[in-house]
Amino acid sequence: MKLAVVGATGEVGRMMITCLEEFAVPVESLTLFASARSAGSTLYYADTALSVRELTSAEMREPFDYVLFSAGAGVAREFAPLAAASGAVVIDNSSGFRQEKDVPLVVPEINGNLLKGYQGIVANPNCTTIQMVLPLAVLDRLFGLRKVVVSTYQSVSGSGHKGVATLESQRAGGSENGIYPNLIDLNVIPQIGSFADNGYSQEEEKIHFETRKILNNWNLEVSATTVRVPVIYGHCESIYAEFASEVDLAVAARELGKAESIAFEENTYVTPRDLGNSNDSHVCRLRRGTGPNSLCFWNVGHNVRLGAAANAVRILLRHAQLAGRI
């Protein structure tokens, strides 16, 4: 298959290249694009040196089978439709198309069926949403999900290179806030994105919308509080969920333990430092909630892998399988 990665020199773009190799995607050719500033740099795929090309409208009219975008919403809105119009399936990691009615928002283990026969732009969900909906979808099938209350603890790499650089600068003694509204080192900041009139931040509103869209349940009650923490990689979430029927914790544990892309842990817990190169959503500390129809759990995922690059590559593979390309 003829593939391209847009935003190849960024944190997620580089991980997309890594995941293409790790997931053994059959690659006939791989073309890498970035801004004019990064054009000409060299990246490696399977020990092969590839020169990064400047992203232009003409380049996006080349015949690709799949184009992975991780270049921000503005770039995606400008260039993704050009690639799609030229016949490529575009998988976009930005927020640019997630709320578009006719654009599927996909976690393949949950709603990959939406990719069958589909051509055009596919939206990759927000990192925090991906790791949360994987276990919630399992529990929804078992007990009928009605309400979710989640607090997230999100690493600085979720802000890209600048987030990591800000934390590292402050750890070295710097006193500038950098890209955050407050110092992040030795601190936590309960704000990710600007606040809306209703008091919720942009990140929180993403979780509200995307969870309902992916689970195809617009009556689902979702309330999120998102917090930036001084960790480099790995997002954590404390999740409380209510259901239509009584929860059987033994059944929940059994089914979570069998589910694709979920690592269920009993009698222990996972922290960001434990993740390594995991592409799974880690579920632990499963326990009863405030009543028989509720439960709580701790959820950890690698935001650059599971929360971005790995899910994008899994979308590519699922679409290619359904289209008979592999």
Catalytic residue among 19, 208, 235, 302: 235
**Could you please report the per-residue DSSP string of 45-62?**
ETTEEEEPEEP-TTGGGS
Catalytic residue among 127, 282, 284, 302: 127
- Give 128-303's CATH code, choosing from 3.30.360.10, 3.40.50.1100, 3.30.70.60, 3.40.50.720: 3.30.360.10
User: What's the confidence (pLDDT) of residue 12?
Assistant: 97
Strands 262-264 and 29-34: unpaired
Strands 294-301 and 235-243: antiparallel
Domains 2-125+308-322 and 128-303 agree in fold: no
Long-range contacts of the stretch 78-81 (C-beta < 8 A, 24+): 79/6, 79/55, 80/121, 81/121
pLDDT in tens, the chain (326 residues): 999 999 999 999 999 999 999 999 999 999 999 999 999 999 999 999 999 999 999 999 999 999 999 999 999 999 999 999 999 999 999 999 999 999 999 999 999 999 999 999 999 999 999 999 999 999 999 999 999 999 999 999 999 999 999 999 999 999 999 999 999 999 999 999 999 999 999 999 999 999 999 999 999 999 999 999 999 999 999 999 999 999 999 999 999 999 999 999 999 999 999 999 999 999 999 999 999 999 999 999 999 999 999 999 999 999 999 999 99
User: What's the confidence (pLDDT) of residue 139?
Assistant: 98
User: What's the confidence (pLDDT) of residue 151?
Assistant: 98
3 state DSSP class of 297: strand
The Cα 295–Cα 243 span in angstroms is 9
Structural domain boundaries of the chain? 2-125+308-322, 128-303
127 annotated active-site: yes
The pTM of the full predicted model, rounded to 2 decimals, is 0.96
The Cα 224–Cα 237 span in angstroms is 10
Q: How far apart are the first and last CA of the chain?
A: 9
The Cα 210–Cα 105 span in angstroms is 8
User: What's the confidence (pLDDT) of residue 318?
Assistant: 98
The answer to whether residues 98 and 46 touch, using CB atoms and an 8 Å cutoff, is no
Task: Name the superfamily (CATH) of residues 2-125+308-322.
Answer: NAD(P)-binding Rossmann-like Domain (3.40.50.720)
